[in-house]
């Protein structure tokens, strides 16, 4: 590849009025307006890379401003060395004070890093999962920031994992292209839905071939018992049904509530308490066993994941494609999970998170763990129509993307219509 | 007090070109421009409340935008119920996605909450430490958000601490007014200073009556040994000299480096690794004992402090006045520290952090722990001249503020001159 430079950055504050339908309602987020703080990077040879941070409405303007603040870090830059450029943004000493490596500024870095990867994959003519999957172990570890990880995983440890993971790569690429990657669906389980809608959507999930569903819980225990009973009636006693509390409980309340739902055999309980509470999650995990804990969508960075793995806080690691520092930090997290033998079952939904995260799970299968066993990617069936390369679900599985890029590009008409507050969708509210 | 409403909000992006002098240089922050994302709240009865988030330069615009985003949450509001208003901002479901309770958005809430407290204290005609110190235990616990804390401290636990802490309050208020609160100084220890300047400043610190100094370390071990030797020569073998690595090391490196400096008997080692690494700090603490760990200036919220106390990660808790969610969350942190019997030795320096944090330590002495033993407030001797009610240090101690408010108000001329990028200080760079 010839060298290329970033010569322009656009940002957009894009919001979807999802609160009107109670799509996405849960115990902590009663009325989200799914949003994207969106960035487009342009090169001197005519390519565009798209990325975004996902938010749920208010504050999307702050998130967009934070992305804009990164413009001087990328304009004029050779965008080939994505390990170096990622670390420069994360380790800028002045910006670092705003985190470090957490919250708005880190999500902004995530958006820009992901846009750089979209760009690179498009220029190389490959879907991101395949581009990453075909890299050598040495190339991959150069993308990772091992700072603060060495008590759990060194660069050499990661190289060993990747060298082992490289065996049989070609067969797995072929398998993935033919069979895709298993998905589960959260669509039936939003708190705002009535029992009839729940029953109908559970039935549809089974008919569509999903291997697992998830119910939101945590607002009212009697409601949760009733809804779980409805879901069990439709899905049968052995079908995996996970529950998700979205950080609703303190440690003691989590233990009591989950144990009160134990008769329904939840496949996992997700986000039982604060995403910052490594030790709290570990206490809960011990107290509710054999029910297992899943968490990660709000985990801020690799240091918290490292500790959750060290402490036994989780049995399923739910990385998010757009909260930690983009593809680079997610590679570190996939490697940490592999080192501790914990399956990654990514968070998705929102706006475009399914589109992004499928690439990371597929890379994990091709080049890191080499297995899909016990692994599923979350799937939520909305807002995909706004993307140029939307996810394709067949028989309850994500089909491997074939178009070059990170599947992160939103349609220009959608960007225009949902721009806040001047797009037509908002002018007409 | 009659009811009053917030009717206006001003924000300012204020930056001081401190990088020109290498003031504030450490192993991670070689060239900070100390900055404040600044907010002024105005009431319908003519009062102003001032608050700010401290940053070190780039990104201060993002931080200021985040504060501005809180305008709809305070305008038109009765600002008497500061427990309620604080929780509303923290628990806004949409904004919460940007943290939760961490980074830029949480620091913005901190700035606004602190401005509300400045306002309240001014209207009641008392310095904040005294206003808080005279509240009843019941009033104080109503300010605190106990969510996610109950496995370590319930509301009832906090009430017990405060009821015990209320005994002898009047004597302690009188003592504080007469004797002030002990300070230590970081002024000698910045990495960018040469040995002669270090020697001179150590001497000055002793002459000024400070009870402790602190040296920045972590960039180069040989330099650190040489500088520590210089400081010991001036200060003598028994004088408390702390060291501060500003998150420079991984866990293993921290243990090796600190042990290599053990012969100089550091009073504490501060921020040895990532502020997010509760378990890493605990590992370090065990491996370097009897040298003790101090941390907190970058700890994002009460959940991380809770875990650090549970895990034995620290022996000195260094809360920061403007990073967590303002006065309210800092009261929670003071209570947690009291519950675990860990002394609070606050972080200060920067822009106005000394001015703010003295009130919190004095409140702790008056109404929570009732002791100054083993406790010191950090002091750095710069930028105080920009404040209307600057800290007064006498014989190495903070004098108790007497003016109404939170000492957070910057002089109008200073705000104008240092506004970025149009103030005269920046136009002339």
- Tens digits of per-residue pLDDT, B95-116? 999 999 999 999 999 999 999 9
B-chain residues near A280 (CB < 8 A):
148, 151, 303, 307
Average pLDDT over residues B113-130: 98
B250 to B277, B307, B414: CA distances (angstroms) = 10, 19, 40
Q: Which residue of A has its CA nearest to B147?
A: A250
Range of weakest confidence among A32-36, B31-35, B111-115, B188-192: B188-192
Instruction: Write phi, then psi, for A348 (nearest 5 degrees).
Output: -150, -170
Report the number of distinct structural domains present in chain B.
Answer: 2
The pLDDT value recorded for residue B2 is 60
- ipTM of the predicted assembly exceeds 0.90: yes
- Interface size A-B, in CB pairs within 8 Å, comes to 191
A323 falls within a domain = yes
Q: Between B57, B94, B147, which is nearest A250 by CB?
A: B147
Per-residue tokens: B218:
């972590």
The rounded distance, in Å, linking the Cα atoms of A396 and A371 is 18
B22, B101: one domain:
yes
CA distance B27 to chain A (A): 10
Cβ pair B56:A250 closer than 8 A: no
Q: Between A94, A148, A276, which is nearest B56 by CB?
A: A94
A-chain residues near B275 (CB < 8 A):
100
On average, the pLDDT of chain A sits at 96
**Which of B103, B152, B245 would you mutate first to test chain A, the one with the most A CBs within 10 A?**
B103
Q: Which residue of A has its CA nearest to B284?
A: A151
CA distance A23 to chain B (A): 14
pLDDT > 70 fraction of chain B, expressed in percent and rounded:
99
B7 to A336, B40, B125: CA distances (angstroms) = 50, 11, 21
Q: Which residue of A has its CA nearest to B67?
A: A62
Q: Between B31, B97, B274, which is nearest A148 by CB?
A: B274
Does residue A365 contact residue A333 with C-beta atoms inside 8 Å? no
Residue B3: pLDDT over 70: yes
A254 falls within a domain = yes
Q: Which residue of A has its CA nearest to B101?
A: A103
B56, B174: one domain:
no
Residue A23: pLDDT over 90: no
B149 falls within a domain = no
Cβ pair B273:A58 closer than 8 A: no
Q: Between A69, A100, A274, which is nearest B62 by CB?
A: A69
The pLDDT value recorded for residue A354 is 98
B-chain residues near A310 (CB < 8 A):
279
Task: Reduce the secondary structure of A43-70 to three states and give it as a string.
Answer: ECCCCEEEEEEEECCCCHHHHHHHHHCC
Distance of CA B127 to the CA centre of its chain: 17
Residue A179: pLDDT over 80: yes
The residue written with tokens 């243990």 in the block is: B255
B91, B176: one domain:
no
Q: Which residue of B has its CA nearest to A249?
A: B148
Residue B23: pLDDT over 80: no
Cβ pair A102:B103 closer than 8 A: yes
Q: Which residues of B are catalytic?
A: 216, 347
Average pLDDT over residues B308-337: 98
B-chain residues near A30 (CB < 8 A):
93
Does residue A283 contact residue A126 with C-beta atoms inside 8 Å? no
Range of weakest confidence among A188-202, A299-313, B23-37, B319-333: B23-37
Per-residue b or e along A253-275, where b marks 16 or more CB atoms closer than 10 Å to that residue's CB: bbbebbeebeebebbbbbbbbbb
B-chain residues near A253 (CB < 8 A):
150
B234, B279: one domain:
yes
Average pLDDT over residues B315-325: 97
The pLDDT value recorded for residue A80 is 85
Segment A274-285, tens digit of pLDDT: 999 999 999 999
A286 falls within a domain = yes
**Which of A33, A59, A70, A350 would you mutate first to test chain B, the one with the most B CBs within 10 A?**
A59
Residue B69: pLDDT over 60: yes
Q: How confident is the model at residue B312 (pLDDT cuts 50, 70, 90)?
A: very high
- For the beta sheet containing A6-15, the strands, ordered from the edge strand earlier in sequence to the opposite edge, are A6-15, A35-43, A48-55
Residue B24: pLDDT over 70: no
Cβ pair B97:A59 closer than 8 A: yes
Task: Reduce the secondary structure of B339-408 to three states and give it as a string.
Answer: HHCCCECCCCCCCCHHHHHHHHHHHHHHHHCCCCCCCCEEECCCCHHHECCCCCEECCEECCCCCCECCC
Q: In CATH, what number is assigned to the domain containing residue B110?
A: 3.30.390.10
Residue B191: pLDDT over 90: no
CA distance B220 to chain A (A): 17
Distance of CA B411 to the CA centre of its chain: 21
Does residue A187 contact residue A393 with C-beta atoms inside 8 Å? no
B-chain residues near A73 (CB < 8 A):
none
Q: Which residue of A has its CA nearest to B254?
A: A148
Q: Between A58, A93, A307, which is nearest B29 by CB?
A: A93
The pLDDT value recorded for residue B22 is 64
Average pLDDT over residues B239-264: 97
Average pLDDT over residues B248-253: 98
B-chain residues near A102 (CB < 8 A):
99, 102-103, 276, 300
Cα four-point dihedral sign A250, A252, A255, A261: negative
B87 falls within a domain = yes
Cβ pair A98:B278 closer than 8 A: no
Q: Between B63, B94, B251, which is nearest A57 by CB?
A: B94
Residue A328: pLDDT over 80: yes
| Residue B39 CA neighbour count, 13 Å, CB half | 34
The pLDDT value recorded for residue A28 is 72
Cβ pair B28:A96 closer than 8 A: yes
Residues in chain A: 429
B-chain residues near A69 (CB < 8 A):
58-59, 61-62
Segment B220-240, tens digit of pLDDT: 999 999 999 999 999 999 999
On average, the pLDDT of chain B sits at 96
A122 falls within a domain = no
B380, B419: one domain:
no
Does residue B234 contact residue B223 with C-beta atoms inside 8 Å? no
Please choose, from the candidates A148, A101, A131, the residue with its C-alpha nearest in 3D space to the C-alpha of residue A325: A101
Cβ pair A98:B105 closer than 8 A: no
The pLDDT value recorded for residue A22 is 64
A197 falls within a domain = yes
Q: In CATH, what number is assigned to the domain containing residue A336?
A: 3.20.20.120
Range of weakest confidence among A28-42, A89-103, B227-241, B381-395: A28-42
**Which of B33, B56, B66, B104 would you mutate first to test chain A, the one with the most A CBs within 10 A?**
B104
B245, B378: one domain:
yes
Higher-pLDDT residue of A323 and A78 is A323
The pLDDT value recorded for residue A20 is 78
Q: Which residue of B has its CA nearest to A149?
A: B250
B39, B90: one domain:
yes
B298 falls within a domain = yes
Task: Give the domain range for residue B67.
Answer: 6-126+415-427
The rounded distance, in Å, linking the Cα atoms of B231 and B233 is 5
B-chain residues near A273 (CB < 8 A):
148
Cβ pair B147:A311 closer than 8 A: no
Q: Which residues of A are catalytic?
A: 216, 347
The pLDDT value recorded for residue B26 is 74
Contacting residues for A213 by C-beta, under 8 A, at least 6 apart: A184, A185, A186, A188, A189, A202, A205, A231, A235, A239, A240, A241, A242
The rounded distance, in Å, linking the Cα atoms of B364 and B377 is 12
The pLDDT value recorded for residue B230 is 96
Task: Reduce the secondary structure of A263-332 to three states and give it as a string.
Answer: HHCCCCEECCCCCCCHHHHHHHHHHHCCCCEEECCCCCCHHHHHHHHHHCCCCEECCCCCCCCHHHHHHH
The rounded distance, in Å, linking the Cα atoms of A351 and A404 is 20
Per-residue tokens: B68:
């501005």
Residue A2: pLDDT over 80: no
Q: How confident is the model at residue A24 (pLDDT cuts 50, 70, 90)?
A: low
The pLDDT value recorded for residue A180 is 98
């Amino acid at each position: 590849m010839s060298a290329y430079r970033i010569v322009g950055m656009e940002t957009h504050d894009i919001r979807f009025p999802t609160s009107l339908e109670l799509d996405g309602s849960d115990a902590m987020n009663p009325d989200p307006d799914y949003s994207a703080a969106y960035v487009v990077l342009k090169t001197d040879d005519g390519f565009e890379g798209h990325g975004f941070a996902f938010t749920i409405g208010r504050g999307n303007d702050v998130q967009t401003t934070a992305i804009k603040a990164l413009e001087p870090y990328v304009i004029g830059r050779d965008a080939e060395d994505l390990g170096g450029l990622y670390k420069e943004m994360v380790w800028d000493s002045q910006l670092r004070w705003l985190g470090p490596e957490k919250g708005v500024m880190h999500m902004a870095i995530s958006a820009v890093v992901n846009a750089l990867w979209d760009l690179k994959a498009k220029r190389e003519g490959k879907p991101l999962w395949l581009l990453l999957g075909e890299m050598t172990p040495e190339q991959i570890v150069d993308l990772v920031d091992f700072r603060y990880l060495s008590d759990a995983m060194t660069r050499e440890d990661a190289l060993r994992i990747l060298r082992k993971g490289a065996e049989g790569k070609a067969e797995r690429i072929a398998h993935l292209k033919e069979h895709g990657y298993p998905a589960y669906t959260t669509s039936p389980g939003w708190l705002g839905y009535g029992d009839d809608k729940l029953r109908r959507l559970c039935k549809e999930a089974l008919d569509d071939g999903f291997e697992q569903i998830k119910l939101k819980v945590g607002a009212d225990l009697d409601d949760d018992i009733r809804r779980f009973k409805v879901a069990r009636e439709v899905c049968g006693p052995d079908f995996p049904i996970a529950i998700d509390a979205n950080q609703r409980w303190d440690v003691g309340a989590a233990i009591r509530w989950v144990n009160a739902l134990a008769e329904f055999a939840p496949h996992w309980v997700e986000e039982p308490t604060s995403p910052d509470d490594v030790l709290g999650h570990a206490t809960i995990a011990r107290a509710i066993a054999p029910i297992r804990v899943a968490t990660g969508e709000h985990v801020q960075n690799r240091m918290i994941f490292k500790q959750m793995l060290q402490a036994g806080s989780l049995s399923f690691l739910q990385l998010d494609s757009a909260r930690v520092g983009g593809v680079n930090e997610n590679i570190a997290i996939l490697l940490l999970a592999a080192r501790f033998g914990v399956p990654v079952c990514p968070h998705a939904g929102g706006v475009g998170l399914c589109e992004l995260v499928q690439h990371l799970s597929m890379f994990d299968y091709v080049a890191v763990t080499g297995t899909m066993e016990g692994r599923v990617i979350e799937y939520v069936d909305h807002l995909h129509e706004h993307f140029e390369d939307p996810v394709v679900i067949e028989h309850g599985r994500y089909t491997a993307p074939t178009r070059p890029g990170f599947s992160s590009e939103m349609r220009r008409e959608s960007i225009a219509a949902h721009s806040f507050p001047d797009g037509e969708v908002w002018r007409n509210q």
